[in-house]
A and B are shown apart, each in its own frame.
Chain A
């Protein structure tokens, strides 16, 4: 690990310019050990008063420092936003969830092995260097929204559920603002080193959820091990039926792109229709129209298709297997 200076922030206004923020540190310290990240200055924000879950209108404001384990177990989250509890519980280990924070989890970096290995070319780590992942080991790489410069995925689970819940990220800094989670993570394009909407001096202070949607909340995660592994693909779903037809369908997908993926076209297709295998197959066709494999990860295309259909069957009360 490279040398750094350490400072503990006493207030949001006390953040030193140019310092790298640390909260739970579970991803940042790992990257610092690999010297993929080498901040000269660290500021510890864990003493800031940002660890509450409180009502905001009909919705909920989740402080950036609320730990993943506390959020997953929070009574209101369990009751009204179950897809979020389920996604959190599907991620990492008990130890890591106790450290990982809501804000920090949004800032989690990709688990692309070429990003982690400093001997390999990586446009995300070293803009313009090239991408060693292309033509390499691509099992955990993107099938949607990738570019010729980067095929890395956003690895987290929490944000996938937040995307299905239409969450908004509250940011303090030179220009305090709220950014929909939809616009927070960035697709790589020709600037894969730009991963989020944050600007220098910004601090995530909260994630805000709108009023809950009653209905079936599901988080389906497919991975190489039954526990403690990143998603190959995941599906977050909030589905509500009214008199035999779908009247709310929010679907977000993890493990397949540089951001939690959501496609309004498939939600429009499903809304107002009666659940059926034909409809779900049509939705999967639509979702996967822009999908492109990167060699080894081509299996994710049929896997995502089956995961979507299985989630929809489950959430609409159809039999588990077609």
Chain B
């Protein structure tokens, strides 16, 4: 079936089998291999992308259901010459070993910081009303949909915490 995907600010016209997941379209039809296939069942988070700014598992999304949405992949988050603040923090804190889960971690954390800014509570929050601080418990809970087989979790948490602190400082200054 013919579909149009809005991806990283560009429209793509594609002809796909309805069974094709968004993940497979990204990797196999469009050559955007930054998004990774780990478990292909929504358990590991390696395939995380943003749909209309919200993090989702692209392996559990049919491409034909993603029409009309604005999709952002790791390629749209930043480039080697123009890293996003989170990407820079992952580098500064050595937030990976093999790097396979990293695009999913960064897409997920990008949206997760937005969720905190929007005042969304989590299972780790003492009160549903907030405020929600970037504690270790909050970050671990909110990022539990992203597994790291190398167990680089301490550095991933540190990178996200720093990016979150820098982000809220910028907001305070603005």
Contact = CB atoms under 8 A, between A and B. Distances in A.
B129 A6 contact: no
B158 to A, nearest CB: 19
Contacts of A73: 118-121
Interface of A: 1, 3-6, 22, 25-26, 29-30, 33, 42, 44, 46, 69, 72-73, 78, 82, 85-86, 89-90, 92-96, 98-99, 226-228
B28 interface: no
Given A26-B42, A95-B45, A44 B65 contact: yes
B30 to A, nearest CB: 20
Which of A29, A89, A93, A226 gathers most chain B CB within 10 Å? A93
Nearest to B65: A44
Interface string B139-155: 01111111000000000
Given A96-B57, A99-B56, 18 more contacts: A1-B19, A3-B17, A5-B18, A25-B65, A69-B54, A69-B120, A73-B120, A78-B128, A78-B129, A86-B128, A89-B123, A94-B112, A95-B42, A95-B55, A96-B60, A98-B55, A99-B57, A227-B140
B41 to A, nearest CB: 5
A95 B19 contact: no
Contacts of B21: 29
A98 B119 contact: no
B60 A30 contact: yes
Given A72-B121, A73-B120, A95-B48, A6 B18 contact: yes
B130 to A, nearest CB: 10
A90 B141 CA distance: 10
B89 interface: no
Contact of B62 (A25, A30, A72): A25
Contacts of A228: 144-145
A78 B129 CA distance: 8
B108 interface: yes
Contacts of B121: 72-73, 78, 85, 89
B70 interface: no
B65 A33 contact: no
Interface in B8-50: 17-19, 21, 40-42, 45, 48
